[in-house]
Amino acid sequence: MSDKSNKSGKACSPAPVTLDAPPPPPGQLAVMSTKQWPLTDGKELYLKYYFMDGSENKRKAVKDTIVTWSTFANVIFDQTQDKDTAEIRISFKGPGSWSAVGTDARLITNKDEPTMSFGWLADSSEPSAEDKGTILHEFGHALGMMHEHQSPARGESIHLKELAVYEYYRPLLNYNDRLVKTQIIDQYNKSDISNFSRLDLHSIMMQMVFRYFMPGHLNEEGIDIPVNTVLSDMDKAFITLNYPRKEPAPGGMSVKQALIIAGVSEQAAGTILGYVDKGQYTKAREEFAHYNNRVRELIKVNKSFLANVETSHAVQHGITDTISAVVKNPLFKHVVRIIVNRIFIQHSIPAVTSVPESAERHVMDTIGAMIMNPMFAQAISDINTEFRGVAPESKSSDSPTKN
């Protein structure tokens, strides 16, 4: 069998998929599902895994690689010889690589059936970067992560040319249009997602097919998306915040650093850190999910606002150079200063660093990007509330309501 034919069958899915099987339900395909494993406050999470078959080389490749996830997630993967007690049952015999998403593994009640398959792994004493990436990808699913390329945030970064996608992936997915749709095109239903960040094109959870997951000609932006074989910084931050611990493991990431990388606001970050310090890991995870969902709603508000701006109104009021007027506004300058400083902090860049590429086009692009920043969105929302004279939504109280 040629190398090309070996690769043509590669279609990762978060549940067993055969050519005759119905497509997985929407939302079960770096996006975190609602299928995360429950946490025990103040303690590590132990997930037992069982090898149903496979050579010593393949088993060792899995055991050595999954330690990476445990470096960042407060999870211990514990090999067991008892298939009946294992949350994850691994086989190497299938035609492809896939995994059940998080607690969906419990739905595979037949203990003689796997919850994860590594049909693509080479039987080698030195696993390739691609094989290690496949292992990390599937164990990402096992922890509750879903395909990053199907995130609802995808539309903000890349817009697929669906006809071109079908033409490209048909031969790679055995000419099965249903698989192309469910595995590549479809976006997750938000009701099945607990939290998700901005689209991370470097995430290990981007699909892996052939040389590129997605050549540039398959999306309107012309972006080549390469195969990712290691965890991105956002992957590390995301899993740290969903499976938190008080102190990072050696080589791991602190919750504080993860919050900075994820761009969480100071107020929300303080709340999350407070829960983690108390060992209240479930509340910390829930607060992170709540923050992410709130950010997405704010961005939607800003997109709607920008789509309905009528520039002629500015001209009527004597403002002929709208952008110049806006950028000179003290409030805008203040918001921009906060955003820029936070970006510098996230990337460990000294605040005195000069900013390259400051031509008019780059400035316009930067302003556009800043307008879509959640901090800017929050400022717009607060100002709009103030101008309308609407009091902020108050928290529930046990005090009786006066009629």
Q: Any residues with CB less than 8 A from the CB of 362 and at least 6 apart, and which?
A: none
Report how far residue 101's alpha carbon sits from residue 188's, in angstroms, rounded to the nearest whole number: 13
Q: Does 401 fall in a domain?
A: no
Q: Does 310 fall in a domain?
A: no
Q: Does 316 fall in a domain?
A: no
Q: One-letter amino acid identity for 113?
A: E
Give one DSSP letter per residue of 183-241, joined into a string: IIIPPPPGGGEEE--S--TT-TTS---SSEEE-GGGBTT---EEPP-S--HHHHHHHHH
Domain that holds residue 185: 3-226
Q: Which residue has the tokens 């919050």?
A: 259
Q: Which residue has the tokens 């012309």?
A: 222
Residue 162: what pLDDT?
A: 83
Q: Are residues 212 and 353 in the same domain?
A: no
Contact yes or no for 41/279 (Cβ under 8 A): yes
pLDDT in tens, the chain (403 residues): 333 333 322 335 433 333 233 333 222 224 556 789 999 999 999 999 999 999 999 999 999 999 999 999 999 999 999 999 999 999 999 777 889 989 999 999 999 999 999 988 999 999 999 899 999 999 999 999 876 444 444 445 567 788 888 888 788 777 888 877 766 666 544 444 445 455 566 788 875 544 446 777 887 777 776 677 899 898 999 999 999 999 999 999 999 999 998 888 888 999 999 999 999 999 999 999 888 777 766 656 655 555 554 544 444 444 445 555 666 667 666 766 777 776 666 666 665 555 555 555 555 556 666 666 666 667 766 766 665 555 444 433 333 333 3
Residue 387: what pLDDT?
A: 56
Residue 33 burial (CB count, 10 A): 24
Q: Are residues 209 and 339 in the same domain?
A: no
Q: Are residues 220 and 327 in the same domain?
A: no
CATH for 19? 3.40.390
Q: Which residue has the tokens 């209240």?
A: 280
Q: Are residues 137 and 31 in the same domain?
A: yes
Task: Give how many domains the chain has, as a whole number.
Answer: 2
Q: Are residues 220 and 333 in the same domain?
A: no
Q: Domain end: 226, 243, 258, which one?
A: 226
Q: Domain end: 171, 201, 226, which one?
A: 226
Q: Does 275 fall in a domain?
A: no
Q: Does 13 fall in a domain?
A: yes
Q: Does 309 fall in a domain?
A: no
Residue 264: what pLDDT?
A: 86
Q: Does 339 fall in a domain?
A: yes
**pTM of the full predicted structure?**
0.63
Q: Are residues 328 and 220 in the same domain?
A: no
Q: Are residues 348 and 208 in the same domain?
A: no
Q: CA–CA distance from 344 to each of 200, 347, 353 (Å)?
A: 19, 5, 9
Q: Domain end: 198, 226, 254, which one?
A: 226
Q: Does 399 fall in a domain?
A: no
